[in-house]
């Protein structure tokens, strides 16, 4: 006799809160949307996807801009068991077409142009509401989404997560960053980034509110008049906020999660003096966002692993595993899961554990370079530079040297007036070996609106500028 195994199921949190607290606000956008109405809209969307012929396991590519429609579609896919494949709106239609083909999309949705291809172009009504028909249980073990990440090579990798990965990630996060019905988390990160997608699960599991980002208004003004208690920012965004006169006491903000770059000590000190203690986080797409979170107590310290995550160090490399570990990379219709024999994923990040169990991230192994026989980790220099009160951002790259093979060049973004190069050199020399002092000091380039610079692109710029300078001598 063959026993059929019933897949593990779980109640949809939106449905749960629609039943327990129907009038509680789920999403703050132009018009607040209650959990009850959110549930009705999701029912309608799930029905539309089914009528379009989409089935559990099908891949749906969507160009997402952080609008209400994007959030609704993402969660309708959670309910329907459709694999949500969000795409960056900054890409042209030709690139969207290439990526959708790589992801083997069965359907494609966009508020703008839908490129021609071997998929169904979806036309959806996001305002329709439909009463519940059954329980709509979630199946945690099934694939849920694919996030494209370029990694250090620049070649897109399609990171596949199961629904269980995101649920475990959100539950582990809540142990250190609690949420309740009075909380609102700003969707300040895009849904095509795992950090943005993870916010949906944190909010809906807790029965809190999602606050959609309105970029037509300054962030400072929104923080002062919107019900935002939680937000995730990179240091650059926070520096800009402080320059505008941001005062946490005039807002409802109680949790601020920093990541994405070296955390400047002056930034942390200034924020703490204003009465708001930020948290820092280490995460990666392959682990569904957060791995470690903690107080920024020293350079590179990112706290301890959250529940459902494990961390170890192998030959100086950070390795991770646990309930949030991805299902694999999607390559030519197959899932490839590059783990070692003990199930560890090797991150290519360099780090160590303190005696107390906190993780210290020291940079990318891929970024390390050798200068005259000495190993240089650029992130170590960057951390020291951003700890200088006059430096807002810094990025260090290697440039060719006839004498040493390679030498560091530093791009500097200043808060105000630049300080002399010798002062910065002395600042570095007071904490680091002399060979880590950059030979070249370069102005911060225009990033075209991007918050995170590309190390590869700035490396090319630095090599061009230093080569021209040598030729002019």
The reply to whether 435 falls in a domain is: yes
Report if residue 22 sits inside a domain. Answer: no
For residues 130 and 458, what is the distance between their CA atoms, to the nearest angstrom? 51
* Residue corresponding to tokens 């475990």: 168
Query: Under a CB-based contact definition with an 8 Å cutoff, are residues 12 and 134 in contact?
Result: no
- Collect all residues with Cβ–Cβ distance below 8 Å to 269 and sequence separation of at least 6: none
Mean pLDDT for 307-326 is 97
Residue 395 sits in a domain whose CATH number is: 3.30.300.30
Cβ atoms 83, 60 nearer than 8 A = yes
Would you state the pLDDT for residue 155? 67
Q: CB neighbours (10 Å) of residue 248?
A: 16
Closest Cα to residue 105, out of 156, 49, 60, 56? Answer: 60
43 in any annotated domain: no
Alpha carbons within 13 A on the beta-carbon side of 425: 12
Using alpha carbons, select from 70, 86, 196 the residue that is nearest to residue 145.
Answer: 86
Instruction: Please write the tens of the pLDDT for every residue from 244-266.
Output: 999 999 999 999 998 877 788 88
Paired strand residues for 83: 59
d(CA 292, CA 360): 10
Average confidence (pLDDT) over 329-351: 95
Domain for residue 204, yes or no?
A: no
The answer to whether residue 297 is domain-embedded is no
Q: Is the Cα torsion angle 109, 115, 119, 122 positive or negative in sign?
A: positive
The widest CA-to-CA distance across the chain, in whole angstroms, is 85
Q: Taking residues 329-355, report their average pLDDT.
A: 95
| DSSP code at position 397 | E
For residue 376, pLDDT beyond 70: yes
Asked if the structure places residue 389 within a domain, the reply is: yes
Give how many domains the chain has, as a whole number: 1
Task: Give the range among 95-99, 157-161, 188-192, 449-453 with minimum mean pLDDT.
Answer: 449-453
Q: Is residue 293 part of a domain?
A: no
438: domain range? Answer: 368-472
Q: What is the pLDDT of residue 96?
A: 94
Q: What is the pLDDT of residues 31-80, one digit of tens each?
A: 899 999 999 999 999 999 999 999 999 999 999 999 999 999 999 999 99
Is 394 a member of any domain? yes
């Amino acid at each position: 006799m063959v026993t059929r195994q019933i897949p593990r199921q779980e109640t949809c949190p939106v449905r749960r809160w629609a039943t327990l607290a129907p009038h509680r606000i789920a999403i703050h956008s132009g018009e607040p949307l209650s959990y009850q109405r959110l549930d009705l809209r999701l029912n309608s969307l799930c029905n539309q996807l089914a009528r379009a012929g989409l089935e559990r396991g099908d891949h749906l590519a969507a160009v997402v801009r952080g609008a209400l429609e994007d959030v609704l579609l993402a969660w309708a896919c959670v309910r329907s068991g459709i694999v949500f494949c969000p795409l960056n709106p900054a890409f042209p239609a030709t690139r969207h077409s290439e990526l959708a083909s790589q992801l083997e999309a069965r359907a494609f949705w966009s508020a703008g142009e839908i490129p021609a291809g071997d998929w169904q172009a979806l036309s959806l009504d996001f305002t329709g509401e439909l009463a519940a028909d059954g329980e709509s249980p979630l199946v945690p073990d099934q694939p849920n989404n694919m996030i494209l990440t370029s990694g250090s090579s620049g070649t897109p990798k399609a990171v596949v997560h199961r629904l269980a990965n995101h649920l475990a990630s959100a539950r582990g996060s809540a142990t250190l960053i609690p949420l309740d019905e009075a909380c609102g988390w700003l969707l300040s990160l895009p849904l095509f980034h795992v950090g943005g997608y993870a916010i949906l699960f944190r909010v809906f599991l807790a029965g809190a509110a999602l606050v959609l980002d309105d970029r037509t208004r300054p962030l400072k003004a929104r923080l002062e008049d919107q019900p935002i208690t939680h937000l995730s920012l990179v240091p650059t965004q926070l520096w800009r906020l402080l320059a505008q006169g941001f005062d946490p006491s005039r807002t409802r903000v109680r949790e601020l999660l920093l990541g994405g770059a070296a955390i400047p000590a002056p930034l942390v000190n200034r924020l703490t003096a204003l009465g708001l203690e930020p948290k820092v986080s280490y995460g990666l797409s392959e682990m569904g966002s957060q791995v470690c979170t903690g107080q920024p107590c020293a350079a590179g310290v990112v706290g301890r692993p959250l529940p459902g995550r494990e961390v170890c160090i192998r030959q100086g490399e950070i390795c991770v595993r646990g309930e949030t570990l991805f299902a694999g990379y999607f390559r030519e219709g197959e899932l490839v899961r590059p783990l070692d024999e003990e199930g560890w994923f090797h991150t290519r990040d360099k780090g160590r554990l303190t005696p107390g169990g906190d993780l210290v991230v020291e940079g990318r192994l891929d970024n390390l370079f050798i200068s005259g026989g000495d190993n240089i980790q650029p992130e170590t220099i960057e951390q020291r530079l951003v700890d200088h009160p006059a430096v807002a951002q810094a990025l260090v790259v290697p440039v060719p040297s006839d004498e040493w093979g390679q030498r560091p060049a530093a791009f500097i973004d200043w808060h105000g007036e630049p300080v002399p190069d010798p002062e910065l050199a002395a600042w570095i020399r007071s904490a680091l070996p002399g060979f880590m002092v950059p030979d070249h000091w370069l102005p911060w380039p225009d990033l075209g609106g991007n918050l995170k610079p590309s190390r590869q692109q700035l490396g090319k710029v630095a090599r061009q500028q230093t080569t021209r300078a040598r030729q002019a001598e």
